[in-house]
């Protein structure tokens, strides 16, 4: 039998809202890139986590391979067009950013340069990975702290390890600017992009979100992440994603919006004494 040539629909048919998401994330990419070019903190409030295709590619365009990403999430969001079973793009942003396994999908290919190196991401809060995602994490030796590690070590040590990893493995800055990249302890730092999905938090803390998973971060653990990253002085971009006021009852909506706002204030330094 004659084999049909694969066409667009055969390859990517399962992916939902591809045209729309490409258009929106391209716009987000441009504004995050501009904010980073101007040396501002690029704060993006979402929206489903596919927005990170735009935000991370935007900061990456400016900070290049020295950029480190801290991805706080219950999920890996690293499905490829082949591995996704839901077809939801919010489950795929990390694969799209890195061009993993065929995730070079038109019309994203018109603007997205999938050059993100997976050794520059650290996950915190994972507890709901699809089978293929576990394999991707293992095969690519991706640094990840699941809720198990948070329970074992506490959020303090987990976050220290995440930051140290990103600093220690960043390519060295040009010798002329090395001083600029040193913190008060003389450690050479790197720019950090925080992509925070509110479903990393326990559903009792942030219920109005599309894919809640029990056993997540407490209110304080979430805020501790924000405060600590603020203190590093390394943050260049922050995403708060998956707050979905269309879900849940009135109280659940109010609770989730209020925790989202509180996380934003916290990453800007509220709550710290010095």
Interaction site with ligand ARG (CB under 6 A)? 48-49, 75, 77, 79, 84, 86, 88, 90-91, 130, 197, 199, 210-211, 242
3-state secondary structure of 242: coil
Q: How far is the CB of 171 from ligand ARG (least distance, A)?
A: 29
CA–CA gap between residue 5 and residue 215 (Å, rounded): 45
- What is the CA 120 to chain-centroid distance, rounded? 11
Nearer to ligand ARG, 130 or 227 (CB): 130
Q: Which of 90, 181, 223, 230 is catalytic?
A: 90
Q: How far is the CB of 205 from ligand ARG (least distance, A)?
A: 16
Q: Are 236 and 42 in contact (CB under 8 A)?
A: yes
**Pick from 224, 46, 209, 44: nearest CA to 128:** 209
Residue 242 known to be catalytic: yes
230 is in an annotated binding site: no
Q: How far is the CB of 270 from ligand ARG (least distance, A)?
A: 26
75 is in an annotated binding site: yes
Residue 160 known to be catalytic: no
Residue 151 known to be catalytic: no
Residue 254 known to be catalytic: no
Residue 75 known to be catalytic: yes
Instruction: Compute the radius of gyration of the chain from its Cα atoms.
Output: 18
184 is in an annotated binding site: no
Nearer to ligand ARG, 146 or 234 (CB): 146
Q: What angle do CA 79, 80, 81 make, to 5 degrees?
A: 125
Residue 130 known to be catalytic: no
Q: How far is the CB of 78 from ligand ARG (least distance, A)?
A: 9
Q: Which of 29, 75, 193, 230 is catalytic?
A: 75
Q: How far is CA 176 from CA 172, 187, 236, 259, in A?
A: 11, 16, 21, 42
- What is the CA 58 to chain-centroid distance, rounded? 13
**Burial, 119: exposed, middle or buried (Cβ in 10 Å; 0-12, 13-18, 19+)?**
middle
Residue 49 known to be catalytic: yes
Residue 199 known to be catalytic: yes
Q: Which of 26, 29, 77, 221 is catalytic?
A: 77
Residue whose CB is nearest to ligand ARG in the complex, by number:
91
**Which residues are CB-contacts of 270 (< 8 A; sequence separation ≥ 6)?**
none
CA–CA gap between residue 104 and residue 122 (Å, rounded): 22
- What is the CA 158 to chain-centroid distance, rounded? 17
73 is in an annotated binding site: yes
Nearer to ligand ARG, 53 or 118 (CB): 53
* Residues with catalytic roles: 49, 73, 75, 77, 90, 197, 199, 242
Binding residues for Mn(2+) are 49, 73, 75, 77, 197, 199
């Amino acid at each position: 039998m004659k084999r049909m040539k694969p066409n667009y629909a055969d390859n990517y048919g399962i992916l939902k809202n591809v045209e729309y998401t490409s258009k929106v994330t391209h716009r987000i990419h441009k504004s995050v890139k501009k904010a980073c070019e101007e040396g501002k903190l690029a704060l993006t409030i979402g929206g489903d986590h596919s927005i990170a295709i735009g935000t991370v590619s935007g900061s990456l365009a400016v900070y290049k391979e020295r950029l480190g990403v801290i991805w706080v999430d219950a999920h890996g969001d690293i499905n490829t067009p082949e591995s996704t079973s839901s077809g939801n793009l919010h489950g795929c942003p990390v694969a799209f950013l890195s061009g993993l396994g065929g995730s070079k999908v038109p019309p994203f290919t018109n603007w997205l340069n999938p050059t993100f190196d997976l050794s520059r991401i650290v996950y915190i809060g994972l507890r709901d990975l699809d089978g293929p995602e576990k394999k991707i994490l293992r095969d690519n030796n991706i640094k990840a702290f699941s809720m198990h590690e948070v329970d074992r070590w506490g959020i303090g040590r987990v976050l220290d390890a995440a930051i140290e990893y990103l600093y220690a493995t960043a390519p060295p800055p040009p010798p002329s600017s090395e001083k600029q990249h040193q913190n008060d302890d003389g450690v050479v730092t790197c720019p950090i992009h925080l992509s925070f999905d509110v479903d990393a938090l326990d559903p009792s803390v942030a219920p109005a979100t599309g894919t809640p998973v029990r056993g997540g971060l407490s209110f304080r653990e979430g805020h501790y992440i924000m405060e600590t990253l603020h203190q590093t002085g390394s943050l260049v971009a922050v995403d708060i994603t998956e707050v979905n006021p269309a879900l849940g009852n009135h109280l659940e909506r109010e609770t989730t919006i209020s925790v989202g706002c509180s996380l934003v204030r916290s990453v800007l330094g509220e709550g710290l004494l010095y």
